[in-house]
Every structure is written in structure tokens, then in C-alpha cells.
Structure 1
Amino acid sequence: MREKIKIFKVLAVLIVFSICFYYFKEAKEVFYFSDIVSPYFSLGFLIISALLLGVVANELGLPSLTGYLIAGMVFGPQVFNFINNSDIKTLELINSIALSFIAISAGGELKLESLKKNVKPIGYITVIQSIFVLAGIFVIFYSLGRAGFLIKNMNSTSLLFFSIFLGVIAVAKSPASTIAIINEYKAKGTFTDIVLGITMIKDVVVLLMFSVAFAFARNAISGVELSAKFFLSIFSHIFISGVAGVIFGFLMIVFFKYVAKEIGIFVVLASFISYKFASIVGLENMFMCMVAGFVVQNFSKQGSVLIDAIEGSHLPVYVIFFSIAGAGLDFSSLKSYWVIVLLFVVLRLILIYWTTYFGAAVSKTVESVKKYAWTGFITNAGLTLSMVILIDKEFKDFGSILKAIVISVIAVNQIIGPILFKIGIEKSGEATKLNQ
């Protein structure tokens, strides 16, 4: 009986979706929309479509996030082009605000008590994963290039840094996807705390690894001189972002304590302010927002207020962010580089699995972390994309090839990552909200 109800529910949603699709198409053909209005009209349709496909995905036992991503892919530039590349660029501000909101949420979910309790597994897994995933990907792709397989027509210096950058990118992950799945399934427990802790710390680790690799590559290829001042600027940049996050967090505490009205709207507004401030000053917005959420949760009595506000308003934020992210996924390079992309995705999965298992075993943490924590480290998006854009601009010998490969990798991982992590959370026994 339950299965029949599920089938009817899916069919009903698909019928409503088809009606929306038909009338949106008609409206686009009948009415003229200016370049200013068109992106927001398209976004409105995308939100409705994503919500409906999220329901379908959920009924089929998949994360709602998968439905949001699929809606973006289907109606984005790759298929129907209802929301085109120009629209996506116009909507960057909304997307960035949503990302700031998710980062505050990630910090707010992380409790100092759980960090202290799980410091060994978080530390061991982060270090082991970062070193051996980078080393493994580097050795394999550098060796293939030297042997003349897959990577051709690249001089030895370019091949060296191409492989190093691939290794750094393999370590990176997407905090947004992780926190979205955790929130959807209301996951709580040791497994969830450890995955969240590693997710937060790895953002800083990857940023440092990339900055150092980028500096050495510029010195070797472009002849830019290395200096102690440059490396000091890297550390100070991250440190100042962290300090800004602490200040931002305490300002949020003041609002929660003395104003305490329209909290959900305030968190969205705070996300906008943090994004604009970080853009103007040149700070790491994701890290700053995570620190701010962490401060509110752990250094005040307002942590529950923040989490309640996020839980009350996260649905539209996730729908907007992941549907636009889906529209921005680009599979066009798969045709040219599918072998490299497939090899990278598979090798990365294997390396993440074994390094996570080994780190968890060495730290003697719970069995669920050893077996399933690796599923929380598959997706990679925002920071990864920022890195390859910088590489493409700076290194003409291999930048465009690396960018094409990594964009396809991101697209693949954004599809498989949330599904694997949903399975991991369920297997760990920490999902308190499951599909009925």
C-alpha cells in the first residue's frame, strides 16, 4: 500500500512539474523579458522545478539535494537552456549569499565539546588523507605523463605542477553539500561530528596547500621570485579571515541577545553582509562564516537560536544554491577527457576510502567512522572551482586542460557525492529523519 502511495505521489508531482514546464515555455515565447528581469523569471521557474524534483528524488530514496542539482542540469545551459550562462552570472550574488548562509550553518553545527572529544580521529584522518591523497594522485598522473599515457605534449615542469595541482584538488571537498545532507537527514552523533570537523579544517589545509603549490609553480614556470613575505601573507590572510569571523560571530551574538527579532531574515542579511565585506577586503568568506557560526554556537547561549533560525529558513536557500549549482555543471569536456576524468574520480574514491579508514583505525575511533566517513568527502565545488580558475589564468601551458578536466570531475562528484553520503549517514545509524 505504501509503495502505491509513493508511486501516485511521484506521478502527481511529475504532472504538476509538466504543467509548470509547459506554461514557462509558453511565457518565454509570448512575453518579452529584459536582460534584467529574465534571470529572475528563470530562477523562479528553477526554484519550483527544483522543489518538485526534490520531492521526487526523496520519494525514490535519494537526497532532495540530488533533485535540486538535476533540475539545474536539465533546465540549465547543458539541456533546455531555460537558464543560460548569462543568467547564471547575473545570479552569482544570490548564490554567494546562499553559500555564506550554508557556511554559517556548518560552523553553527560544530560544537567545541565534540571537537575536543574527537580531536584524535579528526587530526589523524585530516593529516593522513591530505598527505596520501595528494601524493597518490600526484605519483599516478605524473608517472602516466612521463610514460606518455593520457597526458601528452606537456614539458616536464608543466607536467610536474599539473600533477601536483591535481593532487591538491583531490584533497578538496564541498562543505555546502556535506552540511545540506546532514541537515536534511538531521544527522547527529560521533560520525557526523567527525565528518563536520574534518570538513571545516580541510578548507584551511587545502587553501594552504594550494597557495604553496601556486607560489612554487609561478617561480618555476613564470620566474616569479619566492619570498618569505609571500608565505607570511598566505598565513596572515587566513589568520585575518579567522579573526574577522570571530568579530562577525560576536556581532551576531549581540543581535540575538538584544534584538532577537526576525532571526531567519537576519541570518540571510548577515550572509549578504559577510559576502560583501569579504569581497571588498579580500578575505576567505567561507572560512570567515564558518568561524562566525562556530563562535555563536560555542561562546554564547545563542547557539540554539542560530540553529533554529537556520532550520526554519534553510530549505529555500538550499534549493536556490544547489539548483543554480546544477545549472552551472558542465559535462562538455567529458567527451575529450573522459578517460582522465574517470581515472581521477575512481582513484580519488579509492584513496579517500583507504586514508579515511586508516586514519580512523589509527585513532581507534568508532567503527562507523572507519567504514563510512569517506562518503562525506566526495563532493568538491566552490573552492575547487576558484583554484582552477586561478590556475587557468596564470599557467597557459596546462591551465586550460586542468580546468576542463576538473570541471567535469566536479560535475560527476556533485552527482555521486550526496548519494554516497546519504548512504553513509544511514549506515552509521545517525540519520534521525529517513524516507518514510
Structure 2
Amino acid sequence: MAAPILLLKLLLLAVLLVIVFMIAPIIARLTRMPVITFYLVAGLAGQLAFGGPVLRLLMPAHNGALGCITIAAGSELVVESLRAHADTIAALTCCTSAICFLFVWAVAMPVFASAPQLLGESASSDVRLHGVVAMFAGVIAVARSPSSAIAVVSELRADGPFTQTVLGVTMVTDVVVILLFSLCTELADCLLSTAPERGVADDHVAIPPQISFLLRVASELGLSVLHGMTLSALCFVVLRLPLRALRQACLLLVASYAFAAQPLLVFAMRALSWPITPRLEPMLSCIVAGFIVCNPLGERRRLTALLHSTMPPVLCFFFFTTGIGMHLGVLLRTWPMALGLFTIRLVSLAAGSYVGCVIVGAPTHFRRWGWLAYVTQAGMSLGLASEIGEKFPSWGPKLEATLVSVIVLNQLIGPPLFEQALRLAGEDGCGVVDAEEEGKLSPTNELGRNISDQMSVFDATEIMSIVPARRQLSGSYKAIAENWFASGRLSRLSSGTLGPA
């Protein structure tokens, strides 16, 4: 593509982003739908004007936005809350992951065996291949979308036991998916390889494949956690910068570096002639970074304030570009299989969530509506599906097409379902109370407006540090009101003669 045309398309994209950023929240309020759904729909419409070259040019910025969203997801993992809901999170993670994997595997295995054209005619009689394909389909079905979850939670300002449990299950499930995908990749190599022996050989010493698998997974997790610790140190430095605009820009740079570290690691390993190049999981690293900054480093309020001011345009850009990259043409070609896997995944999520809630004795609304929060899929699912297509070129691209179709359906349907679950649980709007709400809760509107005007001159960090949570304030406001009624202060406040009783 010629440079002038590419530049013109980038300018057009910038204009469309501004328009979507201004209009989508208004439509979302009128329709009571998540704003990210309209970002995605706008991106889908943008496919008519923007293609591959534009997306490739925007990929570093897209990864930076994803990293920022994932850091925000990690910041929601508060140790006290995780301890309070540890049993529920563990039970829901195990049950939803196991049941979802088994349901999808049990359905995909005979379907791919009876429809060999989905993988290629040469694979029609290969039972081992059918099992491997079904395993990968099950793993992708287990994956969630932390980016979409944190976007909906931030938009609704949701908080409470249900919200914290859902976020905890979503983050822990991501780690489970990484482990399952590594395991399935190793099993696929073992089952489909024609070599008589497998293992990593070093002169006369051969490492068994089981040990090789454990070493690879341990190295990937260890390096990803170490990478997350590095990112947390960088975030800690960013929070100390003087200007908010500078902090926002540097946070996006740190988030972009989270994804750029893998190519740098590959280059370093090749330069050192290292035989094996470990793989980083940047999303896991970003979750670790957000968790460390908000818990061991104790900077949750500062980071939350910075993310609160940074997230709206970041979410718009990320989900708009995600919509541009969605493969609607693939969905049109593979919709029967995609619709079947989509339905089975919904049923398995509902069953797994119900079983997990019954095991730990969770409240009724957890059992009824909890599964609605786990439907959405996005970045990690698409990345893993793409990796399948690259690693297994003979049949991987066709499986990738089917899985991407399912992911597109989940991404479009999931956010509205998650928002509905938060509303049914009664936790929408239960997050941090802003200055406007403080004014409404004040004894008089005039005093509330004065407080709001005074608070508007503070930096967002200072506001977050002096504005407590709604549920912490409810008892205090009640006690203050009772004391003021008893002492007669409220009548003097209304008349403007407030003074000593």
C-alpha cells in the first residue's frame, strides 16, 4: 500500500475513533448495553475501510492497550478479597474448566471424525488427530477474557462478592489455560510424531518427554512471573512521575514493552546460540504486575486513579481495533460448527458454575447468574487459536478458522450477558463513589456542590485517597444525620447560620 494512502487511512481511523468515543457511551446508556459492544460493532463496520496493512501498523499500540487493560485486571486481585472468596474461586475455576473442557472434547471428537472436510481429507481416518483437535477445542473453550471483564466492571463501577469472585475466577482460569495449552501441545507432538523416540538429547543423555514438558512449563511460568516483577517495578516508577499526562503515556509504554519482550528474548537467545527459546506469556506478566503493585507495593489507590483516567480511550481503541480484526467471513463459512461449539460451551459453563456453587454453598444468585459472567472471549483465545494454525500447518489453519468463529460469537454475546449478571447480582454502581455522588449524599445540595467544586481541583490520586467506598460510608452518614437532627444543626445549616450548638 502506498504511503500517502496508508497515512490517509490512519487519519480517517483517528477521526472515526474520536466519533465512536463520543457517541458510543450515549448509545450504551440509552440501550443499557455495554459500551464495548458498540466499540466492537463500530470496528466490524470499519472492516470496509481498513485492512491488513493498517492493522499490522497498529499492532504495537493494540498490544499496549491490551497490556494496560490486563494490568488493570491484575490490580483488581486484592489479597484480602481473594482470601475471603478463596474456596469459591477454587471450586468455580476447577468445575467450570473441567466440565467445559470435557463437554467440548466429547462433542468435538465425533464431529470432526464424521466431518473430515473440516480438517482436510487426509485426516479422515486418523483417530489420534481427531483426539488432538478435540483437546485443543476444549482448551480454547475454557479460556476467558480479562480485558472484557475489566471493561464491563469499570463501566458499571461494579464491586462486591460476586464481582470479586468473577474477576478472581477469570484471572486464575487464564493461568489454567496456559498450562492446559502447553500440555496439549506436548501431547500433540507425542501423538502425531512419527519419530521412535522423543525427548531432549544432550550428547548421551536423553531427557524423557514428561520431564521436558515440566521443565518447559516451569520455565515459561517462571520467566513470565519474573517479567511481571520487572513490569511492576517500572509501574512503581511511573506512579512517581509528576504530571498525569506523563504517567499515562509511560504506563502505555510499559504495557507495550510487556508484549515486545518476547521478540527481544528470541533475539537474545539466538545471539547466544541458545538451543531452546522459552516463551513468555505477556498477559500473565501484566496480571502479575498489577497484583504486585496493588498488594506488596501498596500502591492500589495511585494505580487505580491512573487507570481510571487512562482506561476510557484505551478501551475504545482496543475494542475498535479488535472489531476490525474479527473474521466475519470465516464465521459465514463455518457457522454450523461454530454455532454448535458455542451452544455446547454455554451449556458446559452453566453446568460447571452450578456444580461449583453447590459444592461451596454459594448464594442463590451465584448459582443462577454466575455462568453469564464467563462467556466472553477475546485476546488470549485468539492468540492461542493463531498459535495452533502456525504450529500445525497441515490442519491447524482450518481448526483455527472454526475456533475463531466461536470466539467472535462469544465476544459479541458475552459482554451484554456479563453486564446483565452484574445487574441481577445488584453490584452495579457499588464501586468507588465519585464527587458527584458525594454531593448527592451530602445534607444539602449546595454543600454537596461546594465539596464537588473543591474536589475538582485535586489530582485524581488525591480524590481516590479521600473518597471511601459507598458501603463504608453508609453507616457514617446515618450516624452524622442522627447527631445533626438531635442537636438542631441541620435546620441552622439550611438557613445558612451553622455555628456552635
TM-score with structure 2 setting the length: 0.75
Aligned to 2:280: 283
SS in structure 2 at match of 1:333 = helix
SS in structure 2 at match of 1:301 = coil
Q: How far 1:398 sits from its partner (Å)? A: 2.6
Aligned to 2:139: 168
Amino acid of the structure 2 residue aligned with 1:198: V
Cα distance in structure 1, aligned partners of 2:193 and 2:318: 37
Change (3 A) 1:221 1:56: same
Deviations 1:406-425 (A, max 9, x none): 11111111110001001011
Between stretches 42-51 and 176-185, larger displacement belongs to 42-51
Aligned to 2:315: 318
Which consecutive unaligned segments of at least 5 residues does structure 2 have?
Answer: 200-208, 266-278, 432-501
2:77 is aligned with 1:110: yes
Q: Is the 8 A contact 1:211 1:234 kept in 2?
A: yes
Q: How far 1:34 sits from its partner (Å)? A: 1.8
Amino acid of the structure 1 residue aligned with 2:375: I
2:325 is aligned with 1:341: no
Percent identity of paired positions between Structure 1 and Structure 2: 27
Aligned to 2:206: none
Cα distance in structure 1, aligned partners of 2:289 and 2:82: 16
User: Which aligned pairs between 1:296-335 and structure 2 lie closer than 5 A?
Assistant: 296-335=293-332
Change (3 A) 1:327 1:385: same
Deviations 1:157-209 (A, max 9, x none): 22111111111111011111111001000110111111111111111110110
Q: How far 1:244 sits from its partner (Å)? A: 2.2
2:154 to 183, 198, 204: 183
Cα distance in structure 2, aligned partners of 1:336 and 1:247: 44
2:224 is aligned with 1:241: yes
2:419 to 398, 422, 427: 422
Change (3 A) 1:40 1:336: closer
Aligned to 2:95: 128
Cα distance in structure 2, aligned partners of 1:137 and 1:301: 41
Aligned to 1:13: none
Aligned to 2:41: 70
Q: Is the 8 A contact 1:38 1:87 kept in 2?
A: no
Aligned to 2:253: 269
Change (3 A) 1:425 1:391: same
Q: Is the 8 A contact 2:39 2:320 kept in 1?
A: yes
**Count of matched residue pairs:** 398
Aligned to 2:18: 48
User: Which aligned pairs between 1:2-41 and structure 2 lie closer than 5 A?
Assistant: 34=4, 36-41=6-11
Cα distance in structure 2, aligned partners of 1:45 and 1:172: 34
Cα distance in structure 2, aligned partners of 1:275 and 1:236: 18
Q: Is the 8 A contact 1:108 1:290 kept in 2?
A: yes
Q: How far 1:38 sits from its partner (Å)? A: 3.6
2:360 is aligned with 1:363: yes
Amino acid of the structure 2 residue aligned with 1:120: D
Cα distance in structure 2, aligned partners of 1:194 and 1:249: 24
Aligned to 1:20: none
Cα distance in structure 2, aligned partners of 1:213 and 1:412: 24
Cα distance in structure 2, aligned partners of 1:118 and 1:253: 28
Cα distance in structure 2, aligned partners of 1:433 and 1:87: 39
Change (3 A) 1:37 1:160: same
Change (3 A) 1:215 1:38: farther
Q: How far 1:241 sits from its partner (Å)? A: 0.7
Q: Is the 8 A contact 1:39 1:90 kept in 2?
A: no
Q: Is the 8 A contact 2:353 2:367 kept in 1?
A: yes
SS in structure 1 at match of 2:27 = helix
Deviations 1:35-57 (A, max 9, x none): 55245213203312422234323
Q: Which has the larger radius of gyration?
A: 2
Deviations 1:7-39 (A, max 9, x none): xxxxxxxxxxxxxxxxxxxxxxxxx96255245
Cα distance in structure 2, aligned partners of 1:54 and 1:407: 27
Amino acid of the structure 2 residue aligned with 1:200: M
1:250 to 226, 233, 242: 233
Q: How far 1:346 sits from its partner (Å)? A: 0.7
Cα distance in structure 1, aligned partners of 2:219 and 2:283: 16
CA RMSD of the aligned region, Å? 2.1
Change (3 A) 1:144 1:408: closer
1:201 to 172, 189, 194: 172
Q: How far 1:400 sits from its partner (Å)? A: 2.0
Q: Is the 8 A contact 1:158 1:398 kept in 2?
A: no
Aligned to 2:107: 140
Cα distance in structure 2, aligned partners of 1:194 and 1:266: 31
